[in-house]
Chain A
Amino acid sequence: MIYPKLAWVMAAIIVLVSKNVQAQSMVSGHVYLADTESPVSDAIVQAWPCGVVFSTSSHGTFNVECSTELDSLTVISYGFTTVTISVDGRSLIDISLIPLSVELNTITISGEIDQSIVRIVPTSDLMQTLDRTPGIRSLDLGAGLIQPVLRGLMGSRIAILDGGVPIVGGRWGQDHGVLVDPALYDGIEWVPGGGHVWLGPNAVGGGVKFSSIHLLRKNGSRTQYGTNYRIGDNRSKVYVLSRLRNKNMQFHVGFSASIFGDRNIPQKTFEYLSRTYEIAGGRLPNTGGTAYHGLAGLIYSTVELGQISLDIRWSNIQQGLFPGIVGIPSQRDLLGDGNIYSVELPNQQASRWLLSSKWIKLGDLNRTFLFSLSGNERIENAPPHAHGYGPKPMTDLSLSLHEYHLFAESKWEGDRGAFGFQAERLRGTTDGWEFLLPNHYRDRVSAIADYKFNSGIFGARIDMISTGNESYSEPLYSINNEVIGEDIRATELNNVTPSWAFSWFQPIDLEKINMSLTASTYTRAPSNYALAANGIHHGTFRFEQGNPDLKPESAFEVRAALSSSSEKFNIEILSFASLHKGFIHITPTASFAPIAHSGQIYSFQATDAFRSGLEVKMNLQIGRGKLATTSSVLGQWALETGLGLPFTSPVDIINSYSHPIDDKLSISLSHRAIAPSYLVARNEDFTKGTSLFGMELKLKMNKSALRIEADNLFNKNWLDHISAYRTLGLVAQGRWVSFSWSYDLHTFNKN
């Protein structure tokens, strides 16, 4: 019986956490980012002269205890300058951190650093934001539908958190992008790898965390706004994010709107199911659209009550879908209508609303309670067509998916660890004439704990997951459109599955090198889609079939992080290796779909797999300039066959050189080399490597910044191996030039 033992372990952790928080005389405070004022979690706070090391909580708070009188604190956080600050008798100290530059002095770190969190620098474009981060790639079907790919995994194999709330809404589809605008958040973090206990059981590839708007540190206001225009797909975007704090209350509101035209591509013909088509005017017709995102919220904070926040977020993206997505197009479908912004059939409308509330109460044990409710809608419209025999549908609604999701997390956090519970409840319904997935549900309850021992950090999570779906059938027609039977597409399913994750984080002290090792083992229950899909998936151009007999997969993963810096040079390396038993992935079968124009059947199968990868980031100061290099290497193999797993991104290296022209103006030249895709899955096409050049000119003034960026300067015709369009032989976006202006206005009351 494993559960009683686990219960004892949990109880021991809770006792240890509680025991450790016996209060002494202390200095407390916050560590936050200087530019965004968002809290810095897991920063090391070392107290002097006693030398005792503490770390900040997920809210950036710390409580430092020392048996002797404190004279100063040193704060160290991965990726930021080290700060030493005098205590001067104060009991409350707030400390701001500035991102690390190459002009750092040598850092000596003597405590534990969570090197597993990577802060992502946002740009004006989500896809570019993701692609610039080593280990992350993005898969897209146009400017509005962008799907993060973390270490080769995507969809329901990664977690995308909006203020701590997992984003759902058909996350299993390559074409189902995440509905977020980075401009309306207080930062983005990437947590690479699987087995992170607080990210939930799906985060095999890790998670991307979009941070909620934080409370301003003083009374006053802060307004950020900006506009952007991109030559290429003629995208225009405006955004504004404003927050106003008066004493204990802060209101914040934000909105962004963008309109984008048909994607520009340097390609004249392409092939689909061996048919050859021409592309008119250098654009993929019907890929334009609009994206709107909104936010309204408030934060109320008092010492007695704690901090209560309420956020309402709303997103809506409407975008045309390239005609080839819903089947074999005719040449005339590809001629466009002369209006690059028009949205014709087929198209997709995706919307999301999220109501979330968080209560944070600081104390001996910091208490956090997060509750959210979200509605996620995805509608695909397509010209009515019947596959095989049967009447032509009467509407354009080919597929609709509604998912309602409830999430709650309760967390107690001490200086040495945390414990808590998560619960979520998802209800999904589908409709439309292109059946893909039946009505489904997924419920989860989890108990989670982590504890910081002197030698390392232990984390554990125990889940109980209930998944299932309704049955579904539709009439079976003869060649004369007469009903001759029933086509059963899904049978009722109800599964209850335990799941777990355990991890050990081990910092290793080496002279001038910061290093840590993490070992984790975890399981993952199959997704609703892997269990019950059975139909043509328009976004992936193939017939996808679930497998109700799938069992949870398990994995053992080892991660290593290493960083070192000197006056002129710094380097960060993240690596991982994981062995997966029964890794669930979609693979081609020997069978063809029983309906026309839908190709081979791809079914979900579980086979053992091995994945490994490396991400490197280096900065070198050369005179006044800076040379930066990032690189990602990824290998994923299905062990039974020795073949690659689908969408294994090839090695890529980005080199950029930035040079200040004067104090405010700087120029950057960049080069991105992508290797050929030597590691491919069965029937996956080999993709040639490519070499792309880019440029950026940045003028940074007091409160505003002007930026001109160019990507794919020579308008190179290249295939992106992990793009959904790769299947059609459609190249990635051609050259674009973007003009951005942003303004960040702080107004704080003097008193």
Chain B
Amino acid sequence: MKNLTILFAIAAMTTLFSCGTTDIDPPTICTENVENGISTLDEVDADAGTTVTLLESFCDDEGLGELRWDIHSAEGHSHEGEEEEGFVLHSGTDWSVLEIQDLSGSNDVGQFSFDIPNTVRGVWDVVVSFSDAEGNAAADVVTPLHVENDFIPLFTLTDVNGVDPASWSSEQVWEPGSIQTLTGTVEDSDGMVAAEILLISESDESVVWSTVLEVLGASIYDFSVTVEVPESATSGEYHLEMEAEDALGNAMHTGFHLEIE
């Protein structure tokens, strides 16, 4: 019996000591100073309708694997260590970009150029994911991409029921039958032809309330509207939609999410 135990222990030890060792260190971003592009280690500011080039240098002690650029709207979530953006009226949030590139060697450069559509405005997240050849993944690097836009009309909300939306810390909750006051401006240097504010149920995309803003020909229009939440509005998720179109046909859709209880 004793011999069996010793034999078993030796077999186990032999097996364990014969284990291979492997690279478990994830790759890193190794150079902060880049030319001919924007490093994702800094915030990125860009205008709609322009081309942006992102550039980064990556290192690994054994060998690099792949790099992925994932650009998506920042609406609805935040990232670790990211500064609070506050209240942002996004437009064109469907726009996203995904690019996968091969990296090789122990030091390689990833470069990515993309066009920002004329329809987007707000904050996007640039998520840089990268791995080494063994599959070790580094923690994602996340950088905000602030997109300004001179093409589409711009809505600004100064207060909702007397409160600056920038000070909101949680989702708006409105009651059926309640009155909500929205004050702000809508502007476009090309002049506007139409603007409308709507309350839309997200369950079936039905419009439960709307009002037209008389913006025809104006390049800036101040508004103060009273939203009458219908008594019949069922509890659920809603969206306050603000839409406008300028004289050149550039349309924009923005707004914020709220709940009716």
Q: Which residues of A contact B (CB under 8 A)?
A: 271, 273-277, 328-333, 335, 337-338, 388, 508, 510, 517, 558, 577, 579, 587-592, 594-597, 599-600, 610, 612, 637, 639-643, 682-683
Cβ B19 vs Cβ A592 within 8 A: no
Cβ A642 vs Cβ B135 within 8 A: no
> Does B6 lie at the interface of the complex (its beta carbon under 8 Å from any beta carbon of A)?
no
Cβ A558 vs Cβ B8 within 8 A: yes
Residues of B with C-beta under 8 A to A590: 65-66, 131-135
Cβ B15 vs Cβ A640 within 8 A: no
A-B contact pairs, 12 of them (CB 8 A): A273-B140, A275-B79, A330-B76, A517-B4, A577-B11, A588-B137, A589-B135, A590-B134, A591-B66, A596-B70, A642-B19, A683-B137
A271 to B133, CA, bound (A): 26
Cβ A683 vs Cβ B135 within 8 A: yes
Interface residue count on the B side (C-beta < 8 Å):
46
Closest Cβ neighbor of A272 among chain B residues = B77
> Does B72 lie at the interface of the complex (its beta carbon under 8 Å from any beta carbon of A)?
yes
Given known A-B contacts A388-B98, A637-B16, A332 and B237 have beta carbons under 8 A apart: yes
Cβ B72 vs Cβ A610 within 8 A: no
Q: Give the segment of B20-28, B150-158, B188-196, B207-215 that binds chain A.
A: B20-28
Cβ A332 vs Cβ B76 within 8 A: yes
Q: Which of A274, A596, A600, A641 is B79 in contact with, Cβ under 8 Å?
A: A274
Cβ B22 vs Cβ A642 within 8 A: yes
Q: Which of B75, B129, B142, B259 is A592 in contact with, Cβ under 8 Å?
A: B129
Q: Which of B68, B77, B137, B257 is A328 in contact with, Cβ under 8 Å?
A: B77
Given known A-B contacts A592-B68, A592-B100, A276 and B78 have beta carbons under 8 A apart: yes
> Does B136 lie at the interface of the complex (its beta carbon under 8 Å from any beta carbon of A)?
yes
Cβ B1 vs Cβ A508 within 8 A: yes
A253 to B16, CA, bound (A): 52
Task: Say how far A267's CB is from chain B's closest CB, in angstroms.
Answer: 15
> Does B36 lie at the interface of the complex (its beta carbon under 8 Å from any beta carbon of A)?
no
Given known A-B contacts A275-B80, A588-B137, A332 and B18 have beta carbons under 8 A apart: no
Closest Cβ neighbor of B125 among chain A residues = A275
Interface residues of B in 38-80 (CB under 8 A from A): 65-66, 68, 70, 72, 75-80
Q: Which of A273, A275, A558, A587 is B78 in contact with, Cβ under 8 Å?
A: A275
Task: Say how far B209's CB is from chain A's closest CB, in angstroms.
Answer: 20
Q: Which of B96, B134, B237 is A596 in contact with, Cβ under 8 Å?
A: B96
Residues of A with C-beta under 8 A to B80: 271, 274-276
Residues of A with C-beta under 8 A to B204: none
Cβ B257 vs Cβ A332 within 8 A: yes
Cβ B22 vs Cβ A641 within 8 A: yes
A388 to B20, CA, bound (A): 38
> Does B171 lie at the interface of the complex (its beta carbon under 8 Å from any beta carbon of A)?
yes
A381 to B98, CA, bound (A): 25
Cβ A683 vs Cβ B136 within 8 A: yes
Task: Say how far B123's CB is from chain A's closest CB, in angstroms.
Answer: 13
A333 to B237, CA, bound (A): 10
A657 to B15, CA, bound (A): 39
Task: Say how far B18's CB is from chain A's closest CB, in angstroms.
Answer: 7
A600 to B134, CA, bound (A): 12
Interface residues of B in 97-148 (CB under 8 A from A): 98, 100, 127, 129, 131-137, 139-140, 142
Closest Cβ neighbor of A273 among chain B residues = B140
Residues of A with C-beta under 8 A to B140: 273-274
Task: Say how far B162's CB is from chain A's closest CB, in angstroms.
Answer: 23
Residues of B with C-beta under 8 A to A332: 76, 171, 237, 257, 259
Residues of B with C-beta under 8 A to A640: 20, 22
Among A275, A331, A587, A610, the most chain B Cβ lie within 10 Å of the Cβ of: A275
Cβ A587 vs Cβ B19 within 8 A: no
Cβ A643 vs Cβ B127 within 8 A: no
> Does B12 lie at the interface of the complex (its beta carbon under 8 Å from any beta carbon of A)?
yes
Residues of A with C-beta under 8 A to B131: 588-592, 600
Q: Which of A274, A558, A596, A682 is B72 in contact with, Cβ under 8 Å?
A: A596
Interface residues of B in 218-261 (CB under 8 A from A): 236-237, 257, 259, 261
Closest Cβ neighbor of A508 among chain B residues = B1
A588 to B138, CA, bound (A): 12
Given known A-B contacts A332-B237, A683-B137, A274 and B24 have beta carbons under 8 A apart: no
Cβ B78 vs Cβ A274 within 8 A: no
A735 to B92, CA, bound (A): 44
Task: Say how far B257's CB is from chain A's closest CB, in angstroms.
Answer: 5
Task: Say how far B66's CB is from chain A's closest CB, in angstroms.
Answer: 5
